[in-house]
Chains A and B, each alone.
Chain A
Amino acid sequence: MYNFVNPFASWNAMNMSSEQVLKHFISPYAFLGITENEIISDTQAIILSGVRGCGKTMLMKQFSYNVRKLISNTESYYEHVKEDKYLGIYFRLDDDRLYSLASFNLKNSSNSEYNIFTHIFELSIFKEYIEVMTIFLDEEKNKISEVEIVKELLSLFSSKERPDISNIDDLLDFVIQEINYVFDFKSSKAIDINDEIKFEPKCGLICNGQLINGFVRAKILEKIDLGETRILLFIDSFEEFSKEQQKVINTMMRFSNASSVFLRIGMRPYGFKTLETINNEEVKLGREFRPIEFNNPLVFKEAEYLKFCKEIAHQRLSSTEMFKKHDIINILGESESLVNEAKKIVKNGKRHIEAYLKKINKKFRIELDIDKVSYLKDDNPLIEMICLRLLLAGKSKEFVEKALNDHKANIKSEESKKFANDYNNKYKLSFVFVLCSIYKKEKKEYYGFKDYCLLSSGIVGQFVRLCCITFNLASFKGREDLIEGKISSEIQTEAAYVMSREEMDYINSIPEFGRKLSIFIKNIGSAFRALHSEIETRYPETNLFSKTTLLPENEKLLETALRWSLIIKKPNSQNINGKVEDIFLLNRIFAPNYKISCRTRGGFNPVVVDDNYFNNDYKDPKVFKNTEDNYLTENTLFNLG
């Protein structure tokens, strides 16, 4: 029976349950500049910054008590905490909630915006404390007195607002009710035309640290024999917080040493809107927080990243009945076969030879025809392309013929060395792009495990999503193969194009400057594509760029593009014309959309982004030069955009 369950269906950690987090978590510490133990024990706040989909949420969630309690199969969670010596609480308010609270302005001047956010934040974390205490009470009925705990917890409210409650369930309900009251109030205000309804929570307006730090100060954990336990507060999506909301967290960060509640904050690059606290002081790197970057593993540890993706895939495949005996490399294939792809494109045609001859004849004012270059005819069109490129570069017929023959006969010579170097190390992939262009082939193929890892640009969420789309497509179009544990290169390619198109469409809807970012990415992508299509292959496989000094608004756009992982900054700068410049790469998931390489080659990067790249339909004259002389810009098969 065909019982297909997509092993990659849940690709976003944000909406994973605790069980799924536990099941799918693979240790990422090989790429991080921090160990698990440091995350637990560091007394400073830690800022975990990384692009969308890099695994921050997954990492933070797996520290939370909701996940940790699932690990403690044999012992109680209470015992587990006693041993671990930490209690992790994960906190994230969705964008709508944050936005809603940010625009929550009360007329009473003392209740400014951050007071309301503080109120919700304190109550939300306090709710988590109560939930944890509920677990402990369930497990350790004989050791812990519910009445005592509830009394201690209630003591954190001011006496005027203290509810008359004696059991933990009722206390939890009270706190939930108070959290919901804020939103009920907002709801009522929407139709309160005469401004009659006042904000009057039963628990009073909670002040900074009253509940979160108050819990520690009251030594409640000490009273249940967990005195050595540290509270780790994982706050996710910090970049979505408003400036005023960030000030609340910064204030907490400033004083976290004194409170024993240690902050671990997840955010995208450039996520700080302010470093100020509510008292207008500044939190300082090194003193109040330690920044840890989720560096892109593909950029500096490609082999490790491939191993990581393999492990993730293995873990997911092995959790399904249908695929548990299969390996991702067997399913997708290890890597692409460029020779086969080239043969598929050419299908015994001669247009690539004609295209080169046209160029050679024009350049050297001669009249070579196909018969005169019959010596370079080969089954492998890429071999033919190398020969033709050598001729175009000015090498003699004799040189090319010898290079080819020596290469085929495995004879070592200067000529064969040059030939092998060009073929194996430089131009093989580039020529496939050129062939696609000459033969007006709509799709360059992207398939194989390695290509998939490369397309994901070191962003593990992208890899999982790409696999998800591929498996879904295969379940429709290649069911028989899929049952056998195979997905064809055509289906994999189609999936890559689907995801690439989706990501392009998505840019437009990004809440921060989506439309402007879309223009920028289109201009960059088009420039790379033009370079990929050049018959002379001046700059093979270019997908890196540097930048000049930009207008402040365009610098801001570039930062936003980095934050949304549309582009990725290489960790090391590069010396360009004696100047050290930052180097960026276009997220490779856009490669299919522009039919460009998903590999990154070093060397000279001709694309230098200036302010013009942020204008609609800009064509960089440095890239789109010699339009008349450029076969492929005249005959390009790909439509822009």
Chain B
Amino acid sequence: MNYEVYSMNKLDETNTQCRQISCFIFLFTDEERATCTKSCLEKNKTMPQNIIILYFNDDDTKKIDELFCMNENLRIEKIKISHQLSENFSPYLTKIAEKVTDIKEVGLDITCIPIPFFVQIINYLYNNDKSIIAYYSQPNHYRLNEMYEYLSLNGELKINHISGFPGKIVKRSESERLLIYQIGFEGKNIFRRIIEDIEPKEIIPLNGFPAFFPKYKDISLVNNDKNYYADGNDISFAEANNPFDTFNQLLKICNEPKSSNYCIDIMISSTKPMALGACLFALKNTKNSVRLLFPFPAEYEPKQSTGVGAIWEYKL
């Protein structure tokens, strides 16, 4: 197994040494943090000429034009994407692929891009030998009702793999599955659906710690409505803002002797950096034999945070 040294930098007022990229991809929303990386890149004079802007609503195009002040030097491609997370992303991916064909270094701001979409973009870029820089702007807080209730995945849920990560279906003997469950705020129904739909033999919860905010670690546990310890589960932890820590934890779990008997599933329902870590792990360490699962909702409510915390740059 080849090991690499990864790097992550905090981009702030005093240290905005962003890496050079040739194309910048981000999703525009009304969230304050949606354009933080853009500002950082501009401040650092590393904003490339090629920019791909994803957006959800037609109303956003005008705001996007205003944001870039109709700068004629920039080659901006606006791609409208769907709110429906289960929708086939291939048409959008094709459009992105056309724009990055001759580009080597791509910067991808995952801050507002829904997890299933950015995971597919990374899959494409990685398999087409692009050098990828990912960015993530932490929120200051999430919108939580009554201290802990959080709903961005509304209504009916269907747990399915993210396109491109179907994993391996069988091994020898009984096809038993180990599910590594990145626990997040929305666990209430997800856990039950995991048991009924995926039927893993064993579940290892992976919680974000240190979290973006101290109480978030506990809210994840409370919202999962499940006493893991009582059922004999050990909880693993990975830093909520560090995809490489998630990567290492997954590696550690999968390298344990008992894991070799299992097919591995990873349920992504935590922070985006942790989802990024799972995606990297699936791509780099397992020859794509890991299944990446996501709870696809009937409705996705994207604006769930307030303010801006730290901004991170990850060299993948």
Contact = CB atoms under 8 A, between A and B. Distances in A.
B53 to A, nearest CB: 20
A186 interface: yes
Given A4-B230, A509-B189, 17 more contacts: A9-B230, A12-B199, A15-B195, A15-B200, A15-B201, A17-B176, A18-B174, A94-B197, A95-B158, A96-B161, A96-B197, A100-B161, A190-B120, A193-B90, A193-B97, A502-B192, A509-B193
B196 interface: yes
Contacts of B225: 502
Nearest to A131: B173
B49 interface: no
B165 interface: yes
A191 interface: yes
A270 interface: no
Contacts of A131: 172-173
A636 interface: no
B78 to A, nearest CB: 20
Interface residues of B, number: 50
Given A9-B232, A502-B192, A513-B156, A183 B169 contact: yes
Contact of B156 (A97, A193, A510): A510
On chain A, which size bracket covers the interface?
35 or more
Interface of B: 90, 93-94, 97, 120, 123-124, 127-128, 155-161, 163-174, 176, 188-189, 192-193, 195-201, 225, 227, 230-232, 288-289, 291, 293, 298
A172 B174 CA distance: 13
B164 A9 contact: no
Contacts of B161: 96, 100
A267 B31 CA distance: 45
Given A15-B200, A472-B230, A190 B90 contact: yes
Contacts of B176: 17
A179 to B, nearest CB: 5
Contacts of B289: 180
B199 A14 contact: yes
Contacts of A472: 227, 230
B156 A511 contact: yes
A191 to B, nearest CB: 5
B149 to A, nearest CB: 11
A511 B158 contact: yes
Interface string A142-158: 00000000000000000
A202 B88 CA distance: 29
B158 A99 contact: yes
A546 interface: no
Interface string A47-69: 00000100000000000001000
Q: Which interface residue of B155, B169, B195, B225 has the most chain A CB atoms within 10 A?
A: B169
A610 B155 CA distance: 24
Contacts of A9: 230-232
A490 interface: no
A193 B166 CA distance: 18
Interface SS majority for chain B: mixed
A336 B291 CA distance: 48
A127 interface: yes
A515 interface: yes
Nearest to A510: B156
Contacts of A184: 288
A29 interface: no
Q: Which interface residue of B128, B188, B230 has the most chain A CB atoms within 10 A?
A: B230
A291 interface: no
A514 B156 contact: yes
Interface string A87-105: 0000010111101100000
Nearest to A4: B230
Interface in A106-158: 120, 124, 127, 131
A472 B228 CA distance: 10
Contacts of B231: 6, 9
B155 A509 contact: yes
Contacts of A127: 170
A618 B274 CA distance: 43
Contacts of B173: 66, 131
A509 B124 contact: no
Nearest to A123: B170
Nearest to A15: B199
Q: Which interface residue of B94, B124, B172, B201 has the most chain A CB atoms within 10 A?
A: B172
Nearest to B162: A190
Contact of A12 (B93, B97, B169, B195): B195
Given A14-B199, A95-B159, A505-B188, A515 B167 contact: no
30 contacts: A6-B231, A12-B196, A14-B195, A14-B199, A17-B201, A52-B196, A95-B158, A95-B160, A96-B293, A120-B169, A124-B170, A176-B170, A179-B169, A179-B170, A180-B168, A180-B170, A187-B164, A187-B166, A190-B165, A191-B123, A191-B124, A472-B230, A476-B227, A505-B188, A505-B189, A508-B156, A509-B192, A509-B193, A511-B157, A512-B156
A184 B288 CA distance: 8
A206 B171 CA distance: 20
Q: Which interface residue of B123, B155, B201 has the most chain A CB atoms within 10 A?
A: B155
Interface in A14-52: 14-15, 17-18, 52
Nearest to B160: A96
Contacts of B232: 5, 9
